[in-house]
């Protein structure tokens, strides 16, 4: 049985698809691409697909991951292209590697997020970011299935900065100012989401965007504590792949000799 790890995106309007909607779309794509899937045992067999840390509904993402199990070997790049062609635009499979290492979920320890705040002046965002990063504790509330929960969002935020290009404005006829935030967040329990950080900015600095923020996950992977960067979780599988055998000198000479003919 071969295992393939895939990276996919949620772009444009498809950021509003739920995780369950994506599961259905992906399983249809597997059938259309005639992927030789392995199935679970029991009365209702399901294709063996493992999803890892899906982004919340309503947020875009450039770095979602899943793993599939096959009953017959396939070239990862060809499989990626077939699945990408079978999914709607916006749900794009951008990378595929054969799983050659264990503990993939353990390598997803942090995410890089981008928050676009239409109607927020970058100078105002700078003031709020400074207040958030200087705070020792930032308590926020979130409604859960067990009721309202209060927790400290500050420890999970590794870095938070304003990344607004000079003269940036929101899309639309009014050309409103638009602040862009870039943040790195650890994956902790309870999970700290981008909307929790926005709630924290409102709590410590009264920053309240007039319209909902556009949120996109740019990357997720293993957090490098020294640099504060997030590394590619598929890199260990690529590095573990066997090197292609080098051609022998005799084979090269034989091919060269045949070329003129």
The pLDDT value recorded for residue 165 is 72
Residue with more model confidence, 160 or 244? 160
pLDDT at 234: 97
* pLDDT beyond 80 at 244: no
Inter-residue contact 195 to 27 (CB < 8 Å): no
Mean pLDDT value of segment 119-144: 95
* pLDDT at position 171: 60
Domain ranges of the chain: 2-106, 109-231
Mean pLDDT value across the chain: 90
Model pLDDT for residues 147-172, shown as the tens digit of each residue: 888 999 999 999 999 997 755 666 65
Write down the pTM of the prediction.
0.87
The whole-number average pLDDT for the span 68-96 is 97
State residue 18's pLDDT score. 92
pLDDT at 253 over 70: no
Which fold, 2-106? Alpha-Beta Plaits (3.30.70)
Q: Does domain 109-231 have CATH number 3.30.460?
A: no
């Amino acid at each position: 049985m071969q295992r393939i790890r895939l990276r996919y995106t949620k772009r444009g309007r498809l950021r509003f698809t739920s995780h369950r909607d994506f599961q259905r779309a992906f399983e249809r794509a597997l059938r259309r691409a005639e992927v030789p899937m392995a199935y679970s045992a029991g009365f209702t067999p399901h294709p063996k697909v493992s999803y890892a840390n899906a982004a919340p509904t309503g947020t875009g993402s450039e770095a979602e991951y899943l793993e599939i199990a096959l009953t017959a070997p396939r070239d990862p790049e060809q499989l990626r292209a077939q699945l990408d062609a079978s999914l709607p635009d916006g749900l794009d499979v951008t990378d595929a590697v054969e799983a050659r290492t264990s503990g993939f979920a353990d390598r997803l320890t942090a995410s890089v997020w981008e928050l676009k705040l239409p109607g927020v002046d970058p100078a105002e965002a700078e003031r709020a970011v400074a207040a958030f990063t200087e705070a020792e504790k930032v308590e926020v509330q979130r409604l859960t299935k067990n009721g309202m929960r209060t927790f400290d969002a500050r420890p999970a935020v590794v870095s938070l900065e304003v990344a607004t290009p000079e003269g940036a404005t929101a899309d639309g006829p009014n050309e409103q100012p638009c602040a862009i935030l870039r943040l790195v967040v650890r994956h902790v329990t309870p999970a700290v989401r981008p909307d929790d950080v926005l709630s924290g900015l409102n709590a410590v600095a009264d920053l309240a965007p007039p319209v909902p923020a556009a949120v996109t996950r740019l990357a997720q992977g293993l957090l490098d504590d020294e640099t504060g960067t997030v590394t590619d979780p598929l890199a260990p599988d690529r590095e573990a792949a066997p090197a292609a055998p080098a051609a022998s000198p005799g084979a090269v000479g034989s091919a060269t000799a045949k070329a003129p003919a």
